[in-house]
Structure 1
Amino acid sequence: MSRKLVKSTRNSVVAGVCGGIANYFNIDPVLPRLGFAIATVVGVGSPILIYVVAALVMPKDELEF
């Protein structure tokens, strides 16, 4: 069975992107959220734009338990 990167419906705070990334890598959802927050404060790249694009592109997972 292949893994797919999808937005999480269970671990969603804003759009489910960080929860989906956490499910894909099998880590705690706090870690991607913290990474996005730190990158936003420090000003590395454009994390808000990356998050918005990921929220628009990633499919939603309806079969998550």
Structure 2
Amino acid sequence: MSEYSEYNVKKLRRTHKGRIIAGVCSGVGEYLGIDANLVRIALAIATLFGGAGVGVYAIGWLLMPEEGKDSSIVQDLVAKQQRNRDGWGGGEYHSQQPPQQH
């Protein structure tokens, strides 16, 4: 799958190439056209000065779709919850109680 869609729009994705943990930094680097190590250094500095780098990385991991997929981890979880709520979960358990007799 190409990094460009049919409308020639670049998409932000977690990449497989250059991945160290989840591919967030390599995906951002590829999207911005910069070396992924610069993104890693920026996140390391943000982590040292206030700890924001870890949170930003975690948010990227949850919200950025993986290369070759159309949905992120969060989108998959929301869709799963929606299917379960609507009764499309496949293994959903419905408890039926017998009618009350007086």
Give the one of 25, 32, 54 matched to 2:60: 54
Give 4+ residue runs of structure 1 displaced > 3 Å after superposition. Answer: none
How many angstroms apart in 2 are the aligned matches of 1:51 and 1:41?
A: 14
**Unmatched 5+ residue regions in structure 1?**
none
Identical pairs, percent: 34
Cα shift at 1:11: 1.3
Give the one of 21, 39, 63 matched to 2:28: 21
Indicate the RMSD between aligned Cα atoms, in angstroms.
1.6
Give the one of 23, 32, 37 matched to 2:44: 37
8 Å Cα contact 2:45/2:53 also seen in 1: no
Cα shift at 1:42: 1.5
Partner in structure 2 of residue 3 of structure 1 = 10
When the two structures are superposed, what TM-score results if normalisation uses the length of structure 1? 0.85
User: Which of the pair has more CA radius of gyration?
Assistant: 2
Give the total of aligned pairs: 62
List per-residue Cα deviations over 1:17-63 (Å, max 9, x = no partner). Answer: 0000000011111100000001101116x22112111101111113x
How many angstroms apart in 2 are the aligned matches of 1:50 and 1:29?
A: 15
**Unmatched 5+ residue regions in structure 2?**
1-7, 69-102
| Higher relative contact order (CA closer than 8 Å, sequence separation 6+) | 1
